Structure 1
Amino acid sequence: MSALRARLSAILLAACLIFASQALTAPEEATAADPGYLMVHFTGDGSTNQQMYLSHSTDGVHWDDLNGGGMVLRSPVGTKGVRDPAFVRSPDGSKYWIIATDLCIGCGQTWSQSINDGSRNLVVWESTDLVTWSEPRLLNVAGAIPDGRNAWAPEAIWDPASNDYVLYWATNVPLNGATKHRIFYSHTSDFRTVSPPQIYIDRPGTQEIIDTQIIEIPAGVGNYRYVRASGDGQITLEGSNSILGTWTNLGNLSGVGLTGAMVEGPMWMKFNGTNKWALYLDQYASGGGYMPVITTNPSDPASYQKQASTSYNMGGTKKRHGWIMNLTAAEENRVLARYPNTPINRIQSYNFQDRYVRQTNFDVRIDPNVSPVDDSRFQMRTGLTGTGTVSFESINNPGYFLRHSNYDFQLVRNDGTAQFAADATFNKVAGLADPTWSSFQSYNFPDRYIRHYAYELRLDPITTTTARGDATFRLTS
């Protein structure tokens, strides 16, 4: 009997181990009622890809591009490009920030220039609702670092010990003439002013460190309140019980087959309702984009498990180094309403069919051979005044809409006023020259329509055959 019991115990133990392994390898999908996850990221090099993009997931491993895959924020400041964004949410949820690297590779700056004489600023956006963002501003964080050459990959975390945010980033301070990125930090309460920068992480000798991200761990999981993952030649894990305290090296992920020569840009995410985490890693060496590795104990390097490529989907655009926020239900509703996957269109003229509505220096006209083509691409949104109407938002200037003023059209940033909403809203009706096309009647001047005159866009009453042709358009892809 004792031998039988021993055999049954062994079988039961093996079954439990198999079940536990399957539970760890296959992340649980959130129920329909659970809010999901929001990722802010960039998508590659060049002036368009190095801007802010958003993606959403209901389960943390299958992602959908928001905003039709188009950018949601563009930086017109500094280098006019942004990379490595991070979300920051205030402890009471009343304010949000996006902080990002001020860097635009391939659109005015090379890697060598950005390493040795790059921007010492970060780019900062601010919001009270996660959907209406301020104009971006520059925050100088590395200018006071002796021989500091740049400011890359910013992150921030609320520190209850100091009752403010610890803002940290990488700066190259050369060592014996060679590149040496280290992590610096400052305190800030508003991302407008910062305390003098200090060294946060400095690896020995010539070893560099660029990407690092901290996550807070609930009590009862591992031995540390905080775990950070860093790209320092490996993906190194460290633990601490205070953000600015002593950090203990826990090892790296080379033991599970993920070396620093393969992956970078660690990005944490906690699954809702369970003590399970994904550490997303960018497969930069192979160009494969982000992949999740799953763990139930972030402080144990041996617990991380790579996922089969069939178990996750990163969506239509490539996700580059970003940040993932666990949404509340209210936040999710606002975000999904603001950034639906509305088709991206061009607005073709009926009587000059080689010409399309475009903006140039924020003036609006119809032109042929538009370059860059994104100057002539818009999303036809639900009208700013409400359903049943339409408004046109620019693709390469998110938040900017076609608006009439004194019957002339400009591309203008939405200021949130009722007057702006009325001026930027139209009724889509059957084409005045051809009912299979479309015309757009002004919401607040219903006797007037969008039309072109001498190739400039205007808001006019339509009384002639020529004018009817001028006021007729087609949405095309």
Structure 2
Amino acid sequence: MRSTLRRVLASALAFVIALTGLTVAGAQSASAADPYSAYLLVHFTGESSQGEQIYLSASTDGKYWNDLNNGQPALLSTVGTKGVRDPSIVRSPDGSKFWIVATDLRIASGSGWGNAIDNGSRNIVVWESTDLVNWSAPWLLNVAGAIPDGRNAWAPEAIWNPATNSYFLYWATNSSRNGVVTHRIWGANTNDFRSISTPQLYIDRGSQSIIDTQIVERDNSTGGFRYYRASGDGQITIEGSNSILGSWTYVGDLRGQGLTGSDVEGPILFRYNGTTQTFGMFVDQYATGRGYLPLVTTDITSAANWKIRPQGTYSMGATTKRHGSVLQITSAELERLSAKWPSAAKRIQSYNFEDRFVRHTNFTARIDQGVAPYADSQWVLRSGLADGSSGTVSFESVNYPGYFLRHYGFEVRLEKNDGSAAFAGDATFRRVAGLKDSTATSFQSFNFPDRYLRHSAFALRIDPISTDTDRQDATFRVG
């Protein structure tokens, strides 16, 4: 634990969310009328001044993620060290409550890793909500204080355990046992995340440190185990069991995928919506600081079945994402989250070619379908560079910050802002009612007001608009 949008949404509110219903989220029960259709990723970003707080990202497919709240923290810790890492989100079996549990640790304060390992907080930080958007003030829960020589409490997770009719809360604590000081996984039962049963040793690897364990539940009617867990113990080790507190069987690790504990940590496990067989795993590339790398499997019973998603078939969004968890959510929950914490990243959808979105490629601009990498079709809509008014807009690339769409010779391309008045004028558009559909949007050139942004043979340019086809080509939906 050292480091530990389709229309991108279903509408302009459709950037959001997921997690393994039981990976860390406990038992989940979606109604037939409103099944889980999106995902919420809860995470932190790193050791910056604001990085060790609660960040939210959303997805409608579990592959392409958008940063909520304009990539800024959604929740801030005001207790303990006033910083949190490794957050995990939990849904109650009846869906009436949610909890976020997180490590009480802020390396950015200057305390250092040595102190965090040997004399860190014995508490975890907890938030509670009934709707995912209104959260309680955070509180501290002492989980390691009763552990002999317990020196910290890291990477908490929780899962509903039907065998005990309570949540099983588990975490890593560094302590001395049989003369060996190392991190082991401890666990306890809770019903409210305000008090716990006496902590019990859950996973002991002897002299090998183990942290970042996460559990997911699956339907084992077709064979295999009911539960699977992934842990950082020198490798990313995968085990299976038919009960949370029972015996666990070694399934394998990710060395066959070229991933070792020296490369990655903080595994997230989650189940994809609409299936009992397809699962995702994110592993934190802490050694290179590149954030999460996604894997997928349609057969979780063997570690060899995990496949790394190829570049261009996913996007983790603009912020670096570090050890967190994924929660499966409903469309209504997605809408609430998106309304509360809107995403800075938008996609611009063609009105008359609904499967195509504005994107940049080789610094030219066009509308395409199946954009890869996905971030090529994501934009931050800034106030117009030329006048800064609310009625004008400039399109800044998400994956090329500082680069904007601008017209040159009436063709549109992606260029770095050089600070000139000419660039500002070329990169500014007035946002007006759609020329073909007033519920949509058209973009009028700021410095050539007789011309509008439109596609022609799928390439973007600014042109005078006269025909019905022109009006369709110059109309877009922003979401």
TM-score normalised over the length of structure 1:
0.64
Question: Structure 1: where are the runs of 5+ without partners?
Answer: 1-27, 344-477
Identity in percent: 58
Q: Structure 1 221/173 Cα, relative in aligned 2: closer, same or farther at 3 Å?
A: farther
Cα displacement string for residues 129-148 of structure 1 (whole angstroms, at most 9, x for unaligned residues): 11000000000000000100
* 1:139-288 correspondence runs (5 A): 139-174=141-176, 179-204=181-206, 206-274=207-275, 275-288=277-290
SS of the residue 2:209 aligns to:
coil
- Which amino acid is 2:247 matched to? T
CA RMSD of aligned residues (A): 2.0
**Contact 1:29–1:59 (8 Å) recurs in 2:** no
SS of the residue 2:296 aligns to:
strand
SS of the residue 1:330 aligns to:
helix
**Match of residue 42 from structure 1:** 44
Cα displacement string for residues 94-123 of structure 1 (whole angstroms, at most 9, x for unaligned residues): 000000000000214210000000000000
**Runs (4+) off by over 2 Å:** 28-35, 174-179, 219-222
- Which amino acid is 2:253 matched to? N
**Contact 2:66–2:343 (8 Å) recurs in 1:** no
Higher helix proportion: 1
TM-score normalised over the length of structure 2:
0.63
**Match of residue 444 from structure 1:** none
Q: Structure 1 95/314 Cα, relative in aligned 2: closer, same or farther at 3 Å?
A: same
* 1:97-116 correspondence runs (5 A): 97-116=99-118
SS of the residue 2:93 aligns to:
coil
Q: Which has the higher contact order (CA 8 A, sep 6+)?
A: 2
Question: Structure 2: where are the runs of 5+ without partners?
Answer: 1-5, 12-35, 346-479
Cα displacement string for residues 152-180 of structure 1 (whole angstroms, at most 9, x for unaligned residues): 00000000000000000000013577640
Cα distance in 2 for residues equivalent to 1:111 and 1:232: 18
Cα displacement string for residues 255-276 of structure 1 (whole angstroms, at most 9, x for unaligned residues): 2211111111000122111321
Cα distance in 1 for residues equivalent to 2:280 and 2:181: 31
Cα distance in 2 for residues equivalent to 1:62 and 1:113: 37
- Which amino acid is 2:244 matched to? I
Q: Structure 1 30/92 Cα, relative in aligned 2: closer, same or farther at 3 Å?
A: farther
Cα distance in 1 for residues equivalent to 2:222 and 2:288: 33
- Which amino acid is 2:243 matched to? S
SS of the residue 1:325 aligns to:
strand
- Which amino acid is 2:338 matched to? L
Cα displacement string for residues 209-255 of structure 1 (whole angstroms, at most 9, x for unaligned residues): 01100000113354100000000000001000000001011111112
Of 292, 297, 307, which aligns to 1:305?
A: 307
Q: Does 1:330 align with 2:332?
A: yes
SS of the residue 1:37 aligns to:
strand
Q: Which moved more, 1:38-47 or 1:138-147?
A: 38-47
Cα displacement string for residues 170-201 of structure 1 (whole angstroms, at most 9, x for unaligned residues): 00013577640000001000000000101000
**Contact 1:227–1:237 (8 Å) recurs in 2:** yes
Cα distance in 2 for residues equivalent to 1:293 and 1:234: 15
Cα displacement string for residues 421-458 of structure 1 (whole angstroms, at most 9, x for unaligned residues): xxxxxxxxxxxxxxxxxxxxxxxxxxxxxxxxxxxxxx
